[in-house]
Structure 1
Amino acid sequence: MSTETTSIAVIGGGSWATALVKILSEGNTHIHWWLRSKHDIEHMKTYGRNPSYLSDVEIDSEKVFPTQQLKEAVAAASHVLLVIPSAFVSEVLGKLQPSDLAGKVVISAVKGMIAGKNSLVTDYIHEQLGVPTSHLLVVAGPCHAEEVAQERQSYLTIGGNDLAQAEFFASLLRCHYIKAYPNLDLDGVQYAAVLKNIVALACGIARGLNYGDNFQSVLVSNAMQEMKRFLDKVRPETPRDLNESAYLGDLLVTAYSQFSRNRTFGNMIGRGYSVKSAQVEMNMIAEGYYAVKAVYQANKQHFQAYTPIVDAVYHILYEKISPIVEFRILKDKLK
Structure 2
Amino acid sequence: MPAPGVALSKLGFLTIGTFDGDDPGPGHEHLLAEIELAEQLGFDSVWLRHRHLQYGVSSPVTLLAAASQRTSRIEFGTAVTPLGWENPLRYAEDLGTLDILSGGRMNPGISVGPPMHWDDVKEALYPDTADVEDFTYERVARLHRLLRGEQASAFSGTEGIEQFSDHVQPHSPGLADRLWYGAASESSARRAGEQGLNLLTSSVVRVAPDEEPDFAAIQAGSIRAFRAAHPAGDAARVSQGLVVIPTDSATAEQRAKYEAYVEARTPRTAEPQGPGRLLFARDILGTSAEIAEALYAHAGFRESREVVFALPFSFAHDDYVQILTDMATKLGPALGWSAQAGA
Higher relative contact order (CA closer than 8 Å, sequence separation 6+): 2
Rg bigger for which structure? 2
- Tell me if TM exceeds 0.5: no
Q: TM-score if structure 2 supplies the norm length?
A: 0.30
| The structure with more helix, counted as a fraction of residues | 1
Using structure 1 for the length normalisation, give the TM-score. Answer: 0.31
